[in-house]
Amino acid sequence: MSVNMEKIPIAGVKLSGELLQFNISGFSNALDAKLELSTLLAANQMNMPFLSGVSLQERSHATGCVTVENEARARALIHGHSKLKLGVEFFPSVGLITLFPHQSSLKILGLSLFALGAAHLPLYGMGSSLSALTLITDYAHLEGALSALEEHLAVPRENDPFDADLKEATLTGTFKAGPMQTIAVYWEPRIKTYGFQSVTDLSLVEITFPAQRIRAVGLKLYELGEVPIGFRLVSAQSSTDGACRIYLLIRRHSEQQALERIRTVGGEETGDRLFVASPLELLHFQGPHYGDRYGIAEAAFKALAFGSVPVLLAACSQSCVCLVLPESRAREAEMCLSEVFEVPTRKARFSEKRPQTLGRGNERQNF
Amino acid sequence: MGDKKLILVVDDDPDLVEAVSLKLESEGFRVAKAYDGIQAWQRIKEERPDLIILDVMMPKKNGYQVCDEIKQDPEYKEITVVLLTAVGDAVTSTSYTHWDGKTALAEEFIPKPIDLDNLMDIIKDYVG
């Protein structure tokens, strides 16, 4: 079935450096793989620029990435963990391609998957944040992935997804010395956050399909975007048995319409397996440089485990932590997280305003 | 469009841009977005915002540079600039220091994370 697919404008694309991905799977819910993983790596001061995890239907699965510089240590740590080592798969030399804003658009999601499938590029994982959609594919083919996306998404001409120094280093095998860019080192007794936001009355749709069908599934999701159904969160995992699972968090009132469209293409059942969990709630929060710092996910999952709040799905990417929770648990989760995450209070005026007696323009005044 | 003030939000963190934009729109403002210093200038020239929320630590051109350029341009120097930065007492950085912000020409200098309601109060002080 051919569809006239419009080219949708986005604001930008980012490409990561080379990463090691690991999938931890095959456990019952008794083991929270994402908690174990985040605790292990945070204890060794290792950041994960991407982490997702799901605990559904008595299965627990987590996907995480570390930089290639941390690969050897991460492998050793996971192999040394009595439980994690039993269900780990490593995917070396992967990269993240992040596009933004996703606009909660199933069309953008569908086009992204369609583009990867059409270019015969693998999808090793995926996760969304408040504004960005991150896909994991082969590091060696990141530029190819970008080209594939650009056939379907209008990316600004000035978009330069590589850091200039990194790009030159990648192409020439050298590193040009220069001023370091943003590297912040944090220590906070309580981690600061912008605040917590929650959404209720949601449904989580799990779509399981053979990985080679990603192009077709992308097209299906694009078509689903023709009706006013947006996603609140999306995540995906692939495994070496050839199966891919996409998790789509949508408004519950859209569930039936979405399922009907996902089940069929051209009026025929596709055979893709579907599972739905509802009603659910979404809690998300973000903070400065969360994506650059270790320990954020660990702090969150520990707080929730301490409060016995189950997390059905978590997606940690960019600067956001997104948590899918059972009905009526978001408020409780927020209270647990507030023990370790600090929200600035409104009453204190933090800003330092220039006194009105000082002029503007070319005058420089030291406070 | 009418009398709604236009706020330009500039940050290389798309999630923060989105969160601030949603808050601004809920408060009745129009919003333009940019994700680095070069995009910021494009938006300024295209849309001439009433106020700019500007992150300091950004690639290509940082917020201090953008702010300086705005304040030294006769055509744009009257635009209110609110600098946001994660640089603060608890943070060390190889490229930026807390005190650099003290000499910037911005109207406001606000450390992250800021309460969004607080940010709205500050914006309304300037643009109503």
DSSP A255-274: HHHHHHHHHEETTEE---EE
ipTM for the assembly: 0.85
Three-state SS at A57 = coil
Nearest chain B CA: its distance from A57 CA (Å): 31
Average of per-residue pLDDT values in chain A: 84
Q: Estimate to the nearest angstrom the gap between the alpha carbon of A359 and the chain centroid.
A: 45
> Is B92 an 8 Å CB contact of chain A?
yes
Whether B100 maps to a domain, the answer reads no
Across the interface, do A182 and B57 touch by the CB < 8 Å criterion? yes
Between these two residues, A347 and B65, which has the higher pLDDT value? Answer: B65
Residue A346 has pLDDT above 70, yes or no: no
pLDDT at A349 over 80: no
Spell out the residues 6+ positions from residue B121 whose beta carbon is closer than 8 angstroms to its own: A346, A349
d(CA A65, CA A94): 9
User: Across all residues in chain B, what is the average pLDDT?
Assistant: 84
Partner residue facing B109 (CB), from A192, A352, A365: A352
| pTM for the whole structure | 0.87
Least confident of A32-46, A69-83, B18-32, B84-98: B84-98
Domain membership flag for residue B93: no
Q: Which among A157, A180, A129 has a CA at the least distance from the CA of A13? A: A157
Per the domain annotation, does B112 fall within a domain? yes
For residue A93, give the H/E element and its range.
strand A88-100
CA distance B66 to A328: 45
Q: Quick one: pLDDT at residue A288? A: 83
B57 lies in a domain?
A: yes
Pick among B9, B10, B18 to test the A interface (most A CBs inside 10 A): B18
Q: Choose among B15, B102, B122: nearest Cβ to A130.
A: B15
Q: What is the pLDDT of residue B87?
A: 56
Question: Quick one: closest CA in B to A347, which residue?
Answer: B118
Residue A316's contacts (CB-CB under 8 Å, 6 or more residues apart) are A48, A50, A51, A52, A127, A290, A296, A297, A322
Contact B20, B119 (CB under 8 A): yes
Q: Quote the number of domains for chain B.
A: 1
Q: Which amino acid is at A176?
A: K
Which pLDDT band holds residue A352 (cuts at 50, 70, 90)?
very low
Question: Which residues of chain A does B106 touch, with a Cβ-Cβ cutoff of 8 Å?
Answer: 354
- Report how far apart the first and last C-alpha atoms of chain A are (Å, whole number): 66
The pLDDT of residue B51 is above 90: yes
The C-alpha atoms of residue B41 and residue B100 are separated, in whole angstroms, by 21
Contact criterion met (CB below 8 Å) for A184 and A319:
no
CA–CA separation, A132 vs A250, rounded Å?
17
Name the percent of chain B in helix, strand, coil, to the closest 5: 40, 20, 40
Say if B35 is an interface residue toward chain A (CB within 8 Å). Answer: yes
Instruction: Residue B46: give the domain boundaries.
Output: 6-88+106-118+120-124
Q: How many CA atoms lie within 13 A of B31 on its CB side?
A: 18
Is the pLDDT confidence value at B6 over 80? yes
3-state secondary structure of A159: coil
Does A367 or A348 have the greater pLDDT score?
A348
Mean pLDDT of A98-116: 96
Q: Which amino acid is at A84?
A: L
Task: Note the pLDDT of residue A158.
Answer: 62
Q: Is the pLDDT of residue A185 over 70?
A: no
* d(C-alpha A43, C-alpha A80), whole Å: 14
Is the pLDDT confidence value at A360 over 80? no
Q: Which two tokens stand for residue A156?
A: 């600004």
Cβ A195–B116 below 8 Å, yes or no? yes
Asked if B113's CB is within 8 angstroms of A288's CB, the reply is yes
Q: In this complex, is the C-beta atom of B25 within 8 Å of any C-beta atom belonging to chain A?
A: no
Q: Which residue has the tokens 């408060």?
A: B27
- Give B-chain residues touching A351 at CB under 8 angstroms: 82, 108-110, 122
The reported pLDDT for the residue numbered A361 is 34
Q: Domain containing B36 — which CATH number?
A: 3.40.50.2300
* Residue B97 within a domain: no
Q: Can you tell me the mean pLDDT for A246-269?
A: 83
Q: Across-strand partners of A22?
A: A64, A90
Give A192 or B91, the one with higher predicted confidence. Answer: A192
Q: A296-306 vs A330-337: helix axis angle to the nearest 10?
A: 120
pLDDT at B45 over 70: yes
If you count residue pairs, one on A and one on B, with CB atoms under 8 Å apart, how many are there? 133
Q: How many whole angstroms separate alpha carbon B31 and alpha carbon B25? A: 7
B110 domain-assigned? yes
Q: Indicate whether A66 pLDDT > 80.
A: yes
* B31 located within any domain: yes
Confidence band (pLDDT; 50, 70, 90) for A320? very high
Residue B1 lies in a domain: no
Q: Is the pLDDT of residue A298 over 80?
A: yes
Closest-CA residue to A22 (of A75, A82, A101, A97): A75
Contact yes or no for B38 and A187 at CB 8 A: no
Residue showing tokens 């009398």: B3
Averaged over A247-272, what is the pLDDT?
80
Using the Cβ of B103 and the Cβ atoms of chain A, whether some distance falls under 8 Å is answered with: yes
Q: Inter-chain contact A131–B14, Cβ cutoff 8 Å?
A: yes
β-strands B51-55, B6-10 pairing: parallel
List CB contacts (< 8 A) between B78 and chain A.
360
Instruction: Return the closest-CA partner of residue A98 out of A139, A54, A63, A146.
Output: A146
pLDDT band at A239 (very low <50, low <70, confident <90, very high): confident
Tell me, what's the pLDDT at A160?
A: 62
Q: Which of A61, A82, A78 has the alpha carbon at shortest distance from A70?
A: A78
Average pLDDT over residues A114-122: 95
CB contact under 8 Å between B19 and A367, yes or no, is no
Return the residue in B13, B42, B53 with the most chain A beta carbons within 10 A, the one to mutate for interface testing. Answer: B13
Percentage of residues in chain A having pLDDT higher than 90:
62
Q: Among the ranges A84-88, A269-273, B20-24, which has the highest mean pLDDT value?
A: B20-24
B67 chain-A contacts, CB cut-off 8 A: none
What's the pLDDT band for A190 if we cut at 50, 70, 90? confident
